[in-house]
Chain A
Amino acid sequence: MNHNHPVYTDNDPQSELVTLNLGPTHPATHGVFQNVLQLDGERIVSGVSTIGYIHRAFEKIAEHRPFYQITPLTDRLNYCSSPINNMGWHMTVEKLLNIQMPKRVDYLRVIIMELSRIADHIICNTIIGQDTGATTTFLYLFQFREHIYEIFEEVCGARLTTNIGRIGGFERDFNEIAFTKINKFLKEFPVALKEFENLLTRNRIFIDRTAGVAEVTKEAALEYSWTGPLLRATGVDYDVRVSDPYSSYQDFDFEVPVGTSGDIYDRYLVRNEEMWQSLRIIEQAILKLKTEPKGIFHADVPDFYLPPKQEVYNNMEALIYHFKIVMGEIDAPKAEVYHAVEGGNGELGFYLINDGGRTPYRLHFRRPSFINYQMFAPMSEGMLLSDAIINMSSMNIIAGELDA
């Protein structure tokens, strides 16, 4: 197959191969992905991925937006766990500005980030179930994603594209309802997750469909720069939360689950275990919050942190500061900074170059979905079409993050 020009129709009369355009809009691919596959019966002979269908030029837009206006762009990268992206971006700017965060804010952030990780993994794992024919599991667990979104709603007012927090902390403290909802979630979710595992983990049909399918070796995964649960499923214990701790993750006691063979079943198990570990982290964070002074939800950096809304409406100085900060008239050092967080899919990196202007000189997102996805077509070769479909769902490729 000529990779420079994907073949859309097979013109060779002697050929017994079938060309299949899987996507760009196909119900089995959960997003805008096109793969031009050459099929021999049900087996894939070769494939070419075409991406960029929802490319929105975020890196270019970011060069024309002050720091605060970039947060909504990061929402739309991995929209299944946007708080992680928001906070990753805020922490990048805080690193640039050398802002030291109070512990309480770090812990509040950890709670939100781990909740988003759970939401992200719920989507991926239930969808694997769905694609192998088990709709029940999808319905059992998916309501808890809704409960997580209700917590986000309580904290920041939005659900999916959250725009949560500020540079320097949160816009307001968590209210009592938020904590009640988090505690309710911590009580109810383990029961449902256990039930979910009972339905799938030792299920003969599920194991037959996933174990040994799409196996990836450690070496191949590292060669292709995989990160996140996909890399860990192959047996490499790389987690940015441990290797490069941010937001006080070093204070928490948790384990990094790893698999052995990197197949779909291992990825499923790794994600499930990560949900349990996230629950552990949230529980610890709630306990740690009790020992921290109450009411602190942002760092004391009036030059960069927006003044309270009440003052903006009633106080001239506050209004001026609000305007200055939103429009990017802040004294940020001329420097370059790279900050990585462990997103739902792997290492989400922000490479920011600031030249002292109102907007970044250059902002590059290291997007795990983009880098993980490039192995999809090569690894599909020789695979059954139905296996390739669950392989794609287990890679949890999010179109927004893929195309930026």
Chain B
Amino acid sequence: MEETTLNNDVHVKLTEKFGEKVTAVSEPYGFLTIVTYKDVIINVLSYLKEELKFNFLTDITAVHYPGKDHGIAVVYHLNNMVEKVRIRIKVFISEQNPTIPTATTIWKGANWMERETYDLFGVKFEGHPDLRRILNMDDLGVHPMLKQYPLEDPNRVDKKDEFFGR
């Protein structure tokens, strides 16, 4: 598999450069996935962009794993358009103090992706030029994609569970 060798190259180079800071390398469905830490994330991203030609930021999002020490995973998807390699980078950060440096210094396009992640998960991107809510109203007060918030408003009186067999 050609793709796998490319993935290996990227992985070897990343380990050479960052050593212990790049962990949990896996390849679900041929998609190179690494886990790194928030103190080096900006270095990893700029190294990938400048040296390994991952010039395109596909997406930034987050995942919430409640009850863990580092309960929020910020997920970056990058794309090397020339060699057709994609990489997924995860950073696990604390749920109580969800901060991570902003990637807007590397890609301007990270701006709204980070605003969306802040809006939905409450991840505070340090150094972001304009960290406001983007999809929800400003006075919502919660970050609705966190798992502790139910889909429907629990205070509604017109939807009692017993009427729905729940």
Contacts and interface: CB of A to CB of B under 8 A. Distances in A.
Interface of A: 3-4, 51-52, 55, 57, 59-61, 63-64, 95-96, 222-226, 236, 238, 243-244, 335-338, 340, 347, 349, 351, 353, 361-362, 364, 366, 370-371, 373-375, 403-404
Given A364-B59, A403-B135, A4 B112 contact: no
B56 A371 contact: no
A117 B64 CA distance: 35
Nearest to A366: B59
Contact of A64 (B81, B112, B116, B151): B151
Interface string B51-62: 000011111010
Given A223-B109, A337-B28, 12 more contacts: A3-B130, A4-B130, A4-B132, A52-B137, A64-B151, A95-B29, A222-B56, A225-B58, A338-B31, A340-B58, A349-B77, A371-B112
Of A243, A347, A351, most B-chain CB atoms within 10 Å: A351
14 contacts: A51-B135, A52-B133, A52-B135, A59-B120, A222-B55, A338-B86, A349-B59, A351-B61, A364-B61, A366-B59, A370-B112, A371-B59, A371-B113, A375-B109
B63 interface: yes
Contacts of B132: 4
Contacts of A336: 28, 33
Tell me what chain B mostly uses at the interface: helix, strand, loop, or mixed. mixed
Interface residues of B, number: 37
B144 interface: yes
Contacts of B33: 336
A338 B77 contact: yes
B112 A351 contact: no
A4 B131 CA distance: 9
B108 interface: yes
Contacts of B113: 225, 371
Contacts, number: 88
Contacts of B116: 370
Nearest to A402: B135
A337 B145 contact: no
A225 B29 contact: no
Interface in B91-144: 107-113, 116, 120, 130, 132-137, 144
A335 B28 contact: yes
3 tightest CB-CB pairs across the interface, nearest first?
Answer: A225-B109, A52-B135, A224-B109
Contact of B151 (A61, A96, A243): A61
A225 B145 contact: no
B51 to A, nearest CB: 17
B136 A55 contact: yes
B56 A225 contact: yes
B84 interface: yes
B130 A371 contact: no
B151 to A, nearest CB: 5
A59 B84 contact: no
